[in-house]
């Protein structure tokens, strides 16, 4: 029963991700790719994303320190980051990335910096949520996959 509760909780958590707009349809695509040959595919991808995207954030931090701001470079960096985020379905992160790029195009330094903070915030928030989520999944065990509601 405990397991059932856990499963239910996990399912609810997952649902909240979508309802609250943290994740979008793309995440479901990843889930659908998961199968017996790749039982932890989603977690692997998300982990890879967070590992790889750290460098984007590092570069963006650096670029935002420069004076004057190189908007082209910022835009280019953020474009890649956005692409990466969208591939795992990180919806809110993607939205903030779009905002950031809009400010870049408008050459609005303040707007860029402000939006960048939003990006980082959403990024970190989602990371925590997903980490907890996958941890729960692992606890529940593989069987969970079969009965996890989609």
**Under the criterion CB under 8 A, does residue 83 sit at the interface with another protein?**
yes
Burial pattern 104-136, b for ≥16 Cβ within 10 A else e, equals beeeebeebeebbebbeebbeebbebbeebbeb
CB closer to another protein, 80 vs 108 = 80
Q: Which two tokens stand for residue 131?
A: 């980490």
CB closer to another protein, 38 vs 62 = 38
**Under the criterion CB under 8 A, does residue 79 sit at the interface with another protein?**
yes
**Under the criterion CB under 8 A, does residue 105 sit at the interface with another protein?**
no
Q: Tell me, what DSSP letter sits at residue 23?
A: B
* 13, 16, 59, 76: which one binds another protein (CB under 8 A): 76
CB closer to another protein, 49 vs 123 = 49
Residues 6+ apart with CB under 8 A from 20: none
**Under the criterion CB under 8 A, does residue 135 sit at the interface with another protein?**
no
**Under the criterion CB under 8 A, does residue 112 sit at the interface with another protein?**
no
**Under the criterion CB under 8 A, does residue 48 sit at the interface with another protein?**
yes
Q: In whole angstroms, how far apart are CA 94 and each of 15, 64, 82, 90, 140? A: 19, 19, 6, 6, 30
* Gap between the Cα atoms of 116 and 77, Å rounded: 12
Span from 15-23, 42-50, 61-69, 133-141 in contact with another protein (CB under 8 A): 42-50
- Compose the 9-38 pattern: x for residues touching another protein by CB under 8 A, - for all others: -----------------x--xx-xx-x--x
């Amino acid at each position: 029963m405990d397991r059932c509760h856990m499963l239910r909780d996990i399912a609810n958590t997952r649902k909240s991700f979508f309802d609250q707009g943290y994740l979008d349809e793309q995440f479901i695509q990843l889930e659908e790719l998961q199968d017996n040959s790749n039982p932890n595919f989603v977690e692997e991808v998300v982990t890879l994303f967070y590992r790889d995207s750290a460098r984007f954030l590092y570069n963006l931090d650096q670029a935002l320190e420069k004076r004057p701001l190189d908007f082209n470079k910022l835009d280019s960096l953020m474009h890649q980051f956005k692409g990466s985020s969208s591939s795992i379905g990180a919806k809110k992160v993607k939205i903030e990335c779009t905002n950031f790029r809009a400010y870049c195009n408008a050459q609005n330094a303040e707007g860029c910096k402000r939006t960048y903070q939003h990006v980082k915030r959403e990024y970190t928030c989602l990371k925590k949520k997903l980490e907890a989520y996958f941890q729960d999944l692992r606890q529940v065990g593989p069987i969970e996959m079969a009965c996890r509601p989609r």
